[in-house]
Chains A and B, each alone.
Chain A
């Protein structure tokens, strides 16, 4: 299981990370940041395979994935 840290102040709520996640780990939350954007959160962090796609594609560099390497189920 990887830990997904989302910087709420940086996020602009574009939802690219939610769309690009192949395991549907992320989803939009009902929480708004001070800019008024609905921010994503990890609803199924246990499904995360640590592919880092959300981190690499985030246009605001708001996501950090702390992947645990060589993990076995």
Chain B
């Protein structure tokens, strides 16, 4: 095992529940590297909802809450308000964050609370058997849409920007260095940070959506479909059709942050 994993992982919880080749493991790898670089393991509080991706914090040897489906951001908000000195992070899946917890996600963004939300998007409900998720591509087949998905998808990053998040980035599991950098920037950023990571699910998405079971092949496909923001600016809308734009999509400084304004108000009332 890598020395960083040796240092930060909870040995009693290993091996991880992830299937061979699951992208969530890469996110865990990048996250531990970011934490190691910042040296903040003792100030960290992690929240996970329900789903494969929400198991990620459970393997890290720090303060962890595993909560109800979709309520990771709601719980992280409470945690941050109870103790603003903590660095609070929420790990969600696509269904957890913008499906079932969609309302909490919108209001977390709107309040601009200083938490970092990492959403691992594998385009499907993986743990429960491959059901249709809000991020499943249009017309792709899943367990619950055997004739193709009739619904169009959610662009979580655009929703986050519109709802008022102040740091929004999107990367894929083929960019591990960039994920670690984005997590570091998200933790350092004062305000709601949202990082979407396109991840491969070789077991369910591979079986139903893409028709391939090889994680390496899926990773190549994800990498091929991604376009960096700097390059996407020079491309025409026809060329960008079906591509995923990756990079730091939005950053804003100076917007009032919730825990700061609440504590300032409390101080003010005390007189």
Contacts and interface: CB of A to CB of B under 8 A. Distances in A.
Counting contact residues on chain B (CB < 8 A from A), the size range is 20 to 34
Contacts, number: 79
B25 to A, nearest CB: 2
Contact of B32 (A15, A20, A61): A61
A59 B216 contact: no
Given A10-B1, A10-B15, A59 B219 contact: no
A24 B24 CA distance: 24
A59 B1 contact: no
Contacts of A57: 26, 29, 173-174, 176, 219
A59 B176 contact: no
Contacts of A60: 15-16, 18, 25
Counting contact residues on chain A (CB < 8 A from B), the size range is 20 to 34
Contacts of A16: 21, 215-216, 219
Interface string B209-245: 0000011110110000000000000000000000000
Given A57-B173, A62-B2, A15 B216 contact: yes
19 contacts: A16-B215, A20-B174, A20-B219, A37-B20, A53-B176, A56-B30, A56-B177, A56-B180, A57-B174, A59-B22, A59-B23, A59-B28, A60-B15, A60-B18, A60-B25, A61-B4, A61-B5, A61-B29, A64-B3
Interface of B: 1-5, 9, 15-16, 18-26, 28-30, 32-33, 173-174, 176-177, 180, 202, 214-217, 219-220
